[in-house]
């Protein structure tokens, strides 16, 4: 997510004057938030309707599992209900009919109702939130917590039996107190405040039946090493995460703790740079086993990898916990958080997810936002439908490739020289250099086979 563009705090109101006829006496929104938008149904690839699924058929079984269970989609509250379209050069462009321009509790509750109508119409059972997306700050931490409790109580009621948070998280990057970071701030008071905020965010995630809890190190990084004690900051981050593990156990929260890597933005260098860097951090501090990773595609590309690379790095280390499904722009160098539309990219992602046996209890969270220029309410639906269909298509294509088997066979053949007695000895760590030198001399110049890259690409393309 690009973190700069939230509605500014303003004088609290309930219902604005020009929305008067939609507001009841208590200021609650009456009627539908999305009138004219039906429940979105699967119509198949020949459908031309924007408000229909062409590839995502929730109940259809692919490789032994329903599509909805492979994909476990989630809507990101911050983009869909707090995104304004503002950018560093321009004012907000979106004026959703239910917004009154305030950050009041009444507004927070109305937005929450819009969120659940949206989820129900989309047929999505999961949502993700930051504490501060869903409820406004108060004058004190106590007041802020009580605001949060009030909105969370409504969310719990609206969730019913079906909808749950895929994950919750604490927003530890917007408020000026976090300008030096949260767990890695040079200020002890800020470390303590952040701990209190995470404690509360974990409690409400648990209360709402959340399946995971995310740590994205928004400002856990540095701008220059000239003024930074990197070793001490990383030690602090590890202590913070250890305390989170202890608290999770104390309150009986069984959800997975996830770290979300990102290389930079907003800091110049973030400590959780990419999957491999985060893995090394967890290993160094003895935290492996307590955390998994939430891989965000646009973060992976910012770190110079493909999304698929970071997902595979997480997967082969047993750490693939969740995917923040979005994509970047090949010409733009920042976190543009676009909905995924590239079928090839989605197919690569789904190949890994299938190899992982799915993502549960994680899923695909649409950490993606409308373009600044997309300003119709229906665009909120169209963007999610497009993102869901892209991944559904990726799943179908990946299943085709797996069922066909030629790509797997190409890879198997490529390494088949290791499917021998000596290969097994090497892989078991039982071949020393003297022994290998003897064999190299005996065998002479080795024969080296083609990598067959173009053939692999041809097979891949044939499934798209």
Binding site for ligand XUL (CB under 6 A): 1, 130, 169, 214, 216, 260, 262, 296, 324, 335, 367
Cβ proximity to ligand XUL, 116 vs 366, nearer residue: 366
Residue 367 interacting with Co ion (CB under 5 A): yes
Interatomic CA distance for residues 311 and 318, integer angstroms: 11
Min dist CB 2 to ligand XUL, Å, is 7
Q: Which of Co ion, ligand XUL, none does residue 335 bind to, with CB < 5 to 8 Å depending on kind?
A: ligand XUL
Cβ proximity to ligand XUL, 274 vs 335, nearer residue: 335
Cβ proximity to ligand XUL, 169 vs 205, nearer residue: 169
- DSSP string over 242-276: HHHHHHHHHTT--SEEEEE--S-SSSSEESS-SHH
Min dist CB 251 to ligand XUL, Å, is 21
Q: Which of Co ion, ligand XUL, none does residue 214 bind to, with CB < 5 to 8 Å depending on kind?
A: ligand XUL
Copy the structure tokens of residue 457.
């690409």
Min dist CB 260 to ligand XUL, Å, is 5
Q: Which of Co ion, ligand XUL, none does residue 312 bind to, with CB < 5 to 8 Å depending on kind?
A: none
Residue 296 interacting with Co ion (CB under 5 A): yes
Is residue 130 part of the annotated active site? The answer reads yes
Cβ proximity to ligand XUL, 300 vs 353, nearer residue: 300
Interatomic CA distance for residues 443 and 1, integer angstroms: 55
Q: Which of ligand XUL, Co ion, none does residue 279 bind to, with CB < 5 to 8 Å depending on kind?
A: none
Min dist CB 428 to Co ion, Å, is 40
23: which strand partners?
A: 29
The stretch among 140-148, 228-236, 249-257, 364-372 that binds Co ion (CB under 5 A) is: 364-372
Question: Which residues lie below 8 Å from residue 306, measured CB to CB, with a gap of 6+?
Answer: 300, 345, 348
**DSSP alpha helix (H) spans, 160-229:** 188-207
The stretch among 78-86, 166-174, 220-228, 317-325 that binds Co ion (CB under 5 A) is: 317-325
Provide the angle, in degrees to the nearest 10, between the axes of the packed helices 343-355 and 377-404: 60
Cβ proximity to ligand XUL, 212 vs 356, nearer residue: 212
Residue 174's Cα: distance from chain center in Å?
18
Residue 324 interacting with Co ion (CB under 5 A): yes
Q: Which of Co ion, ligand XUL, none does residue 345 bind to, with CB < 5 to 8 Å depending on kind?
A: none
Residue 312 interacting with Co ion (CB under 5 A): no
Handedness of CA 195, 197, 202, 207 (dihedral sign): positive
Min dist CB 342 to Co ion, Å, is 18
Whether the Cβ atoms of residue 207 and residue 154 lie closer than 8 Å to each other? no
Distance from the first to the final alpha carbon of the chain: 28
The stretch among 45-53, 124-132, 160-168, 289-297 that binds Co ion (CB under 5 A) is: 289-297
> What letters, b where the CB count within 10 A reaches 16 and e where it falls short, cover 329-347?
eeeeeebbbbbbebbebbb
Site for Co ion in 16-35 (CB under 5 A): none
Cβ proximity to ligand XUL, 296 vs 310, nearer residue: 296
Closest by CA to 371, choosing from 343, 340, 339, 345, is 339
Min dist CB 76 to ligand XUL, Å, is 7
Min dist CB 421 to ligand XUL, Å, is 48
Closest by CA to 295, choosing from 265, 270, 273, is 273
Q: Which of ligand XUL, Co ion, none does residue 106 bind to, with CB < 5 to 8 Å depending on kind?
A: none
Q: How many CA atoms lie within 13 A of 330 on its CB side?
A: 4
Whether the Cβ atoms of residue 15 and residue 23 lie closer than 8 Å to each other? yes
Q: Which of ligand XUL, Co ion, none does residue 169 bind to, with CB < 5 to 8 Å depending on kind?
A: ligand XUL
The site that binds Co ion (CB under 5 A) totals a number of residues, namely: 3
Cβ proximity to Co ion, 368 vs 459, nearer residue: 368
76: which strand partners?
A: 128
Interatomic CA distance for residues 254 and 123, integer angstroms: 26
Whether the Cβ atoms of residue 112 and residue 156 lie closer than 8 Å to each other? no
Copy the structure tokens of residue 131.
């504490």
Residue 272 interacting with Co ion (CB under 5 A): no
Cβ proximity to ligand XUL, 262 vs 393, nearer residue: 262
DSSP strands (E only) in 116-158: 126-130
Q: Which of ligand XUL, Co ion, none does residue 310 bind to, with CB < 5 to 8 Å depending on kind?
A: none
Min dist CB 396 to Co ion, Å, is 25
Q: Catalytic residue among 130, 180, 236, 309, which?
A: 130
Which residue is nearest to ligand XUL, using beta carbons? Answer: 1
Whether the Cβ atoms of residue 27 and residue 15 lie closer than 8 Å to each other? yes
Interatomic CA distance for residues 321 and 342, integer angstroms: 22
Give the active site residues: 130
Write out the residues near Co ion by the rule CB under 5 A. Answer: 296, 324, 367
């Amino acid at each position: 997510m690009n973190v700069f563009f939230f509605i500014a705090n303003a004088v609290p109101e309930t219902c604005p004057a020009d929305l008067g006829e939609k507001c009841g006496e208590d200021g609650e929104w009456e009627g539908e938030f999305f009138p004219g938008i039906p429940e979105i149904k699967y119509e198949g690839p020949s459908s031309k309707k924007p408000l229909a699924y062409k590839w995502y058929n929730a109940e259809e079984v692919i490789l032994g599992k329903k599509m909805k269970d492979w994909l476990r989609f989630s809507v990101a509250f911050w983009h869909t209900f707090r995104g304004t379209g503002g950018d560093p050069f321009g004012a907000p462009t979106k004026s959703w009919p239910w917004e009154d321009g305030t950050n009041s509790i009444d507004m927070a509750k109305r937005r929450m109702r819009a969120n659940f109508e949206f989820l129900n119409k989309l047929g999505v059972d999961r949502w993700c939130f930051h504490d501060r997306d869903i409820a406004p700050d108060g004058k004190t931490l106590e007041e802020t917590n009580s605001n949060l409790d009030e909105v969370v109580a409504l969310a719990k009621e609206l969730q019913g039996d079906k909808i749950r948070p895929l994950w919750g998280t604490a927003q530890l990057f917007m408020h000026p107190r976090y300008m030096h970071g949260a767990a890695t701030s040079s200020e002890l008071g800020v470390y303590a405040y952040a701990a209190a905020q995470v404690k509360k965010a974990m409690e409400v995630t648990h209360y709402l039946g959340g399946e995971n809890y995310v740590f994205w190190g928004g400002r856990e990084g540095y701008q220059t090493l000239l003024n930074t004690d990197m070793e001490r900051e990383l030690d602090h981050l590890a202590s913070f995460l250890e305390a989170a593990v202890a608290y999770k156990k104390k309150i009986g929260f069984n959800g997975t703790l996830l770290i979300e890597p990102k290389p930079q933005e907003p800091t110049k260098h973030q400590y959780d740079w990419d999957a491999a860097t985060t893995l090394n951090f967890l290993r160094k501090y003895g935290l492996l086993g307590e955390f998994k990773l939430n891989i965000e595609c646009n973060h992976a590309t910012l770190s110079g990898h493909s999304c698929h690379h970071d997902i595979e790095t997480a997967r082969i280390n047993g750490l693939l916990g969740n995917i923040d499904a979005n994509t970047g722009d090949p010409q733009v160098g920042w976190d543009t958080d676009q909905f995924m539309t590239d079928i090839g990219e989605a197919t690569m992602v789904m190949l890994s997810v299938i190899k992982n046996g799915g993502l549960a209890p994680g899923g695909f969270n649409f950490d993606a936002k409308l373009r600044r220029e997309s300003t119709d309410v229906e665009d909120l639906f169209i963007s999610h439908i497009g993102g869901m269909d892209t991944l559904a298509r990726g799943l179908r294509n990946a299943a085709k490739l797996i069922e066909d088997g030629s790509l797997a066979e190409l890879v198997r053949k490529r390494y088949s020289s290791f499917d021998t007695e000596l290969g097994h000895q090497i892989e078991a760590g039982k071949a020393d250099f003297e022994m290998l030198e003897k064999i190299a001399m005996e065998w002479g110049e080795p024969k080296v086979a083609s990598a067959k890259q173009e053939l692999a690409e041809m097979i891949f393309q044939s499934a798209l």
